[in-house]
Each structure stands twice: as C-alpha cells, then as structure tokens.
Amino acid sequence: MTARIADLGEGITVDELRLATRNHGMPLEALRYDVTPAGLHYLLIHYDIPFADPSTWRLELPDRVVDLDELRALPRVSRTVTLECAGNGRARLTPRPISQPWLDEAVGCATWTGTPLAPLLDPVPDDAVDVVFTGADHGLDRGVEQDYQRALSVAEAQRGEVLLAYEMNGQPLLPQHGAPVRLIVPGWYGMTHVKWLRRIEFSTEPFRGFQQAVAYRIDDQPVTRIQPRALMIPPGFPDFMSRHRIVEAGHTTLTGRTWSGRAPIIRVEVTTDDLTWHDAKVAPPPERYAWQRWEYGWDARPGDYVLSVRATDADGHQQPVDQPWNSQGMSNNMAQRVPVTVRN
Ligand SMILES: Nc1nc2c(c(=O)[nH]1)N[C@H]1C(S)=C(S)[C@@H](COP(=O)(O)O)O[C@H]1N2
Ligand SMILES: [Mo]
C-alpha cells in the first residue's frame, strides 16, 4: 500500500494538479508577516471540507459530550504556532512520490486560541496508551475507507501546549482550517493538528489507523516534529511564468523566517555562490513555536546567482543542501534555492 512514484521525467499529473488547486501554499512574500493572515496560510485537506453548523456541533470527550459554548467557557489561551505540512518539498524529490506536490510553501504561522487539552483528559485510565482524535471528514486513501484520524501518546497529548482551538488570528476558525474546533500540537508537522474535531478517546493499544501506520512514515518510522528550516522572501520582482527574480544592483536586505519543532534555531546562514555561507542576523522568537525573522545584507553585483539559506538547531541538525529521498516524500527540509538576476 505505498503511494505511486512518478516515472523518471514524468511531469505533474492532472491528479496532482487537482490537489494543488484545492490545497494552496503560502505565497513566500507572506514570510513578511509575524502572524500569517488566515487567507495566506497554506491549506491541506485530504477529503472534503465538512459542513459544520456551530450551533449543533458536538465534541465527544472521553467522559462527556460538549458543545461549542461549553468549550468556549473553559480557560482560554492563545499561542502563535508555525505549522508546516510534512510533505513540504515533496515535488522536488527525484523520482517524485505522487501526492500533494509541494515545493517550499506549505507553511504558515498563525495565532490559535482555544482551551488546553490536558485537563479534559483527566482522569487518564491506567491502561490508556494513546489518545485518538477523529475529524468529521471521510474518504478513501489507497483503497482504505476512513474518517481522518490521528493519535498522540498520552504523555504527548498531556503537554500543556496542546490546544483545542476555535479561533485563528482572533476570528472563529474558517471552514477550511477546521471549523468549529481543531487540535493544535505545537512543534509537530501538520498532519497531527486534526481539523473538524468530533471525537477524542483513549486507546489501550498503540493506534494503527491509516494516517498513523501507513501514511506519514519515513523508512517505517513515524513522522513527528518539524525539522529546522529557513525560507527567504524571494528578493526583487518576479517573471510571471518562471518566477525568476530580477534584483537591482546595490545593497539588498535578504530576509525571511526560520523555525523548528525540535530544538530552537541557533544559526541561519546564506550563500550567494554555493561556496561560502555567511551568518544572518536572527531575531529571538516571540514564542517558542512562532517563527523567527532573519536578515542578511547583500552587496548585489550584476550577474546571475542562486541564493540559498539554511538553518541549524541547538541539537546540531542542519538543513541539507541535497535532499535525502524517502518513498512518501515526508519531512524534507532541503535548503531553499532562489535563482536571481542582478541588473545595473
Ligand atoms: N480532519 C483533518 N485534519 C487535518 C487534515 C485533514 O485532511 N483532515 N490535514 C492535516 C494536514 S496533512 C495538515 S498539513 C494540516 C493543515 O492545516 P491547515 O489546512 O489549517 O493549514 O491539517 C491536518 N489536519
Ligand atoms: Mo500535511
């Protein structure tokens, strides 16, 4: 039950194009915002966006059922969290795993408001191993019919940072982002942040659902936390079709954002010649899981360049310049490459 791998040289298929038009990325110029406006945040929706009427919506908790007013009456917290799809970068792999064909742009950093999950899990039964989250969306993947489901270990689900979110950037969740309530698991790749939540239950066995045991794996290890990454706002202005950049000669500030769900980012470096890496200035994160701004001053002389940026985290993990391949195209974090022409 593996996903199809494209033949060598096979272009993007209509099936991939259809997914790409449903699930848009964040335009890279939106790296400018500390908090991504909701309409610019990337989207990933496996099946259909379920219609949920907030007045009749109910969430099954392990020991009771709550409606939206009851959830909103619970302690309220906001967290600014970088979300990235685990498949980001997939379309750059050779050969290409056939799925949502992301390049670099499956990321966003929004402020999520809701109530902490941990108190709602109390008391945890002695034999509980996992907490299973079920969304209201339903479909088929590789022949397996399913509700969208993911699980966390009890310990991970009890982390104080995990939220049941009902607002994004101060507004009720939009339908495409999981209305009326979704899970937010700071630090983890997107697949764990279950949207359109309708049930939370304990499991006495490790959860073996499709999105846990078949999808979202690398060499049969589960995909978990977000790898370090930095992205640059492509400088200058673009050509419409190729997005190739034109930059005026002279002093140019290259800038963007960096994040990691593992250890904090300690270094961002830029190269303009694929030989020498220069340290960028990195601003401290406003919150642990919010992205951080970086900048680097470049004295741009006329010519053709490929700009690249890479991040390193406190555990010493550095973004690769060549992407190791895996069959589902998961957890990629190859350094971004931005071809530019500098003109006089
Ligand atoms: N119920 C449900 N939750 C889901 C998904 C889904 O298809 N159904 N997609 C997941 C994936 S793979 C990602 S990357 C994030 C994307 O969240 P966003 O669309 O709000 O950016 O939602 C996750 N939660
Ligand atoms: Mo994703």
Chain segment 163-220, per-residue pLDDT in tens? 999 999 999 999 999 999 999 999 999 999 999 999 999 999 999 999 999 999 998 8
Question: What is the rounded distance in angstroms from the CA atom of residue 210 to the CA atom of residue 197?
Answer: 17
User: Tell me, what's the pLDDT at 219?
Assistant: 84
Give the bridge partners for 336, in sequence order.
Answer: 309
Residues with CB under 6 A from ligand 1: 41-46, 83, 85, 135, 137, 148, 177, 190-191, 193-196
**Ligand 1 centre distance from Cα of residue 140 (Å):** 16
Name the CA radius of gyration of the chain, rounded: 21
User: Tell me, what's the pLDDT at 230?
Assistant: 98
- The pTM for the full model equals 0.97
Q: In the predicted model, is pLDDT for residue 11 greater than 70?
A: yes
The model's confidence at residue 3, banded by pLDDT at 50, 70 and 90, is: confident
Chain segment 72-101, per-residue pLDDT in tens? 999 999 999 999 999 999 999 999 999 999
| Closest residue by CA, ligand 1 atom 12 | 191
Question: What is the rounded distance in angstroms from the CA atom of residue 323 to the CA atom of residue 229?
Answer: 13
Q: Ligand 1 pocket test: pick from 44, 48, 109, 134 the residue with the most ligand atoms within 8 Å of its Cβ.
A: 44
For the CA of 106, the closest atom of ligand 1 is: 14
Cβ–Cβ contacts within 10 Å for residue 50, how many?
17
User: Tell me, what's the pLDDT at 260?
Assistant: 98
User: Tell me, what's the pLDDT at 67?
Assistant: 98
Of 21, 12, 26, 27, the closest CA to residue 238 belongs to 27
Domains recognised in the chain with CATH numbers = 14-222 (3.90.420.10), 229-343 (2.60.40.650)
The distance of Cα 221 from the centroid of its chain, to the nearest Å, equals 19
Chain segment 210-248, per-residue pLDDT in tens? 999 999 999 889 999 999 999 999 999 999 999 999 999
Mean pLDDT (whole number) for 47-54: 96
- DSSP result, 225-273: BPPPEEEEPPPSEE-TTT--EEEESEEEEEEEEEE-SSS-EEEEEEESS
Chain segment 152-164, per-residue pLDDT in tens? 999 999 999 999 9
Q: In the predicted model, is pLDDT for residue 41 greater than 80?
A: yes
Burial tier of 279 (Cβ tally within 10 Å: 0-12, 13-18, 19+): exposed
Of 228, 207, 204, 193, the closest CA to residue 315 belongs to 228
As given in the structure block, the two tokens for residue 18 are 């259809």
157 three-state secondary structure: helix
Buried-exposed string 62-79: b where 16+ CB fall within 10 A, e elsewhere = beeebebeebbeeeeeeb
Q: In the predicted model, is pLDDT for residue 1 greater than 80?
A: no
Of 9, 12, 26, the closest CA to residue 190 belongs to 26
Chain segment 251-280, per-residue pLDDT in tens? 999 999 999 999 999 999 999 999 999 999
Q: Ligand 1 pocket test: pick from 191, 198, 200, 330 the residue with the most ligand atoms within 8 Å of its Cβ.
A: 191
The model's confidence at residue 2, banded by pLDDT at 50, 70 and 90, is: confident
Question: What is the rounded distance in angstroms from the CA atom of residue 6 to the CA atom of residue 10?
Answer: 6
The ligand that comes nearest to the alpha carbon of residue 192 is 1
Q: In the predicted model, is pLDDT for residue 64 greater than 70?
A: yes
Give the CA dihedral 213, 88, 323, 276, nearest 10 degrees: -150
